[in-house]
Amino acid sequence: MLYLVPTPVGNLKDITLRAIETLQEVDLILCEDTRTSSKLLQHYQIQRPLSPFHQHNEHKVVPHLVEQLSAGKKIALITDAGTPGISDPAFLLVRAAVQAGIQVQTLPGATAFVPALVSSGLPAHSFYFEGFLPVKKGRKTRLSALAVLPVTFILYESPLRLPRTIADLIEHCGGDRKASVSREISKMFEEHIRGSLHELEAHFKQHPPRGEIVIVIEGIEE
């Protein structure tokens, strides 16, 4: 059995009882950064073997992990924060496990874009999740496609790249397009800044952002 276990995006209490029980019972926990995950596991007194699983080694280790799963081992995959597979490693292992006939179970839990979307004040009945934009190749193509979507769309971004991304959004969507920037979700300094893209650009020139960023942008009016 392969378990995909969501972990808190901020407050360590944002984890389900089922997630804790699962992590206590598996034979191995795969994680992006053992130092980050160790803090969570120590907090809940979970003592299970840890092994790194991230974008730099996933192609190499997937075959061996499938062998272990096929032999009957129970393995949990977690990320530094949020649900595995949402802008984080998971797809390659899940695909290989499914192809090998291994049962995959995904637990419900924390995902950063959901509270950002619901708190934005923008339509949430239908939306498009993009995740991280390409840094270079293909960036303009993706922005052009997103700009004409008739539904709310969602981006992840780092604080250092936020000013450039807002400027790019203004170029493709226009400065009057409504948007919301959420940061530090579920942490002490959680913040949601709402307004036009021009207003957000002006705000973050005066207040350089910190923490992980979720940008929610309204769709084009049909």
Segment 119-137 shows an average pLDDT of: 95
Tell whether 13 is covered by a domain.
yes
Segment 36-64 shows an average pLDDT of: 94
Provide the number of structural domains found in the chain: 2
Same domain, 141 and 203: yes
Using 50, 70 and 90 to split pLDDT, how confident is the model at 125?
very high
Q: What is the pLDDT of residue 143?
A: 97
Tell whether 222 is covered by a domain.
no
- Whether the pLDDT of residue 160 is over 90: the answer is yes
Using 50, 70 and 90 to split pLDDT, how confident is the model at 145?
very high
Single-letter residue type at 49? P
Q: pLDDT exceeding 90 applies to what percent of the chain?
A: 93
Which structure tokens are listed for 203? 């705000």
Instruction: Give me the domain span that covers residue 83.
Output: 2-106
Same domain, 151 and 170: yes
Q: What is the pLDDT of residue 91?
A: 95
DSSP 9: S
Q: What is the pLDDT of residue 147?
A: 97
User: Is 66 in contact with 113 (CB distance < 8 Å)?
Assistant: no
Residues in the chain: 222
User: Is 140 in contact with 50 (CB distance < 8 Å)?
Assistant: no
Same domain, 25 and 75: yes
Single-letter residue type at 38? S
- Whether the pLDDT of residue 68 is over 80: the answer is yes
Q: What is the pLDDT of residue 221?
A: 81
Long-range contacts from 95-103, C-beta under 8 angstroms, 24+ separation: 96/62, 96/63, 96/65, 96/66, 97/2, 97/66, 97/69, 100/66, 100/69, 100/70, 102/1, 102/2, 102/66, 102/69, 102/70, 103/1, 103/2
Final residue before a domain boundary, out of 84, 106, 128: 106
Q: How far is CA 20 from CA 25, 42, 82, in A?
A: 9, 12, 14
pLDDT tens-digit map of 23-43: 999 999 999 999 999 999 999
Final residue before a domain boundary, out of 106, 133, 150: 106
Segment 147-164 shows an average pLDDT of: 96
